Amino acid sequence: MRALCFVLLCGALAAAQKLEFEAASLKPVTQTGRPGPPRMKGGPGTDDPTTWSYQSATLASLIGEAFSKKFFEVVAPDWTQWGRFDVIAKVPPGTTPEQFRSMLQNLLVERFQLAVHLEKKQATGYALKLAANRTKLRESVPVLRQPDPVPGGPVVGPDGYPVFRKGSGISMAIMDGRARYALRNETVSAFAEKLGGQLRGIVTDETGLAGKYDIDLYWDARTVSPPGEELGPDLIHAVKEQLGLTLEARKVSAEMLVIDHAERVPAAN
């Protein structure tokens, strides 16, 4: 089965004319201590389309990027979440996002002997609906936003939740287990997709809302409260109380990417 999956994958990539990066470096992160946060930049559709880099990436995240799958849509061994890699690739001019993904797939096949297949599975999902046929969402109004004189990242507000400084360009932060979203001019469908990442499941927009909204949301991601402190609302309750929307749990049929084989140590560049 593994050999068959590997052959099928390689055959599909060969049919795509064996698209490859002009040059690529993929190296394990060998630093001691806690690894830095993943950082991805460049590539097709950005202001630096011919250079793509992904620092401190796990193999699972590289696979998800290559096959355009969210982390909860990839069935992979736990160890693919442990090791970290730094990747730098020279992308041919004019490469489309689809061609880029084929190039990254080929790189992972070459370096990790990756073999995968797609499989329909039952998975946890949610339907995002209106609560009591009304919503607390604020429709987005175009305004001229002045940047803060001292732009920067989020800070902890008096309520213990992150507060975004203007000009930071950040839409979400988690500090000590407490989280905040601050989305602007966003569709509810796009918001539902972002919720899926937090809930580790597919969220389907069934609100019927077609506009664009400014969405502010905070919740407590902790599961155990410190002594003398109460937990805040979890994500599902926060969505209902603060936005007037409900998340209804359900089982959904999802197309999952199943990892059949991958080497733990990549081949040398």
Starting at the edge strand that comes first in sequence, how are the strands of the sheet with 178-187 ordered? Answer: 138-139, 212-220, 178-187, 172-175
**127 residue type, one letter:** A
Contacts of 211 (CB under 8 A, 6+ apart): 139, 140, 187
Looking up tokens 């949610």 gives: 126
pLDDT band for position 13 (50/70/90)?
very low
Query: Is the pLDDT assigned to residue 6 strictly greater than 50?
Result: no
Q: With CA atoms as reference, report the closest residue to 242 among 147, 159, 131.
A: 131
In the predicted model, is pLDDT for residue 172 greater than 90? no
Q: Which residues contact 33 (CB under 8 A, 6 or more apart)?
A: none
pLDDT at position 174, please?
Answer: 87
Q: What confidence tens digit (pLDDT) does each residue in 43-66 have?
A: 999 999 999 999 999 999 999 999
pLDDT tens readout for residues 238-261: 999 999 999 999 998 889 999 999
Q: Where are the domains of the chain?
A: 2-120+257-261, 135-243
Least confident of 127-131, 223-227, 262-266: 223-227
Q: Is the pLDDT of residue 14 over 50?
A: no
Structure tokens that stand for 143 in this block:
């305004």
Q: Under a CB-based contact definition with an 8 Å cutoff, are residues 38 and 56 in contact?
A: yes
Rounded to whole angstroms, the Cα distance separating 11 from 168 reads: 45
> Residues in the chain, how many?
269
Could you tell me the maximum CA-CA distance found in the chain, to the nearest angstrom? 62
| pLDDT per residue as tens digits for the range 77-95 | 999 999 999 999 999 999 9
Using CA atoms, how far residue 244 sits from 87, 130, 177, 202, in Å, is 42, 6, 23, 20
pLDDT of residue 3: 42
| Pair 9, 115: CB distance under 8 Å | yes
Above 70 in pLDDT, residue 10?
no
